[in-house]
């Protein structure tokens, strides 16, 4: 895969990853020359790596009109609890679509999510 075929968001992620690596190495060197103990400098760099992506995500969600309250997000998107009814399940035995749990037609618990 060439650089021209990459997704723009993936390019931004790789650039952010490289920049954060360069920044962390530079910060470790500067803090080492200042005489800061290594465990404090590592803790500081880790705190920056945790807080900076959280800030960037909050800012990005604000730009898209999403919720910036800190709720939602993560692996499952920014959906609320009321949106969970949109997911239907398909029984793998009889292919019946239902809301979840056991299949009402055959009683099987083997199912897959259908979005």
For residue 40 the two structure tokens come to: 């404090």
Instruction: Assess contact for 68 and 58: CB atoms under 8 A.
Output: yes
Instruction: Tell me which residue of 81, 76, 59, 77 sits closest to 68, measured CA to CA.
Output: 59
Domain boundaries defined on the chain: 3-64, 87-114
Give the chain's largest Cα–Cα span: 70
Residue 66 CB contacts under 8 Å (≥ 6 apart), including other chains: 72, 78
pTM exceeds cut of 0.85: no
C-alpha span between 60 and 16 (Å, rounded): 14
Judge whether residue 80 has pLDDT over 80: no
- Please give the Cα distance from 32 to 46 (Å, whole number): 16
What's the pLDDT at 68? 46
pLDDT-derived band at 57, boundaries 50, 70, 90 = confident
| Range of 8-12, 85-89, 93-97 with top mean pLDDT | 93-97
Between 89 and 86, name the one with better pLDDT. Answer: 89
**Mean predicted lDDT score pLDDT of the chain:** 77
Dist. CA 14–CA 17, nearest whole Å = 5
pLDDT tens for residues 4-40? Answer: 677 887 788 788 878 888 888 888 889 888 988 888 8
């Amino acid at each position: 895969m060439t650089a021209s075929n990459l997704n723009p968001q993936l390019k931004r992620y790789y650039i952010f990853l490289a920049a954060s690596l360069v920044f962390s190495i530079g910060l470790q060197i500067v803090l080492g020359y200042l005489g800061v103990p290594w465990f404090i400098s590592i803790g500081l760099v880790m705190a920056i790596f945790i807080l900076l992506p959280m800030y960037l995500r909050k800012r990005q969600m604000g730009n898209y009109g999403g919720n910036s309250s800190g709720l939602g997000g993560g692996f499952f998107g920014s959906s609320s609890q009321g949106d969970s009814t949109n997911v239907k399940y398909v029984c793998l035995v009889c292919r019946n679509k239902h809301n979840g749990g056991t299949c009402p037609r055959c009683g099987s618990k083997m199912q897959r999510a259908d979005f």
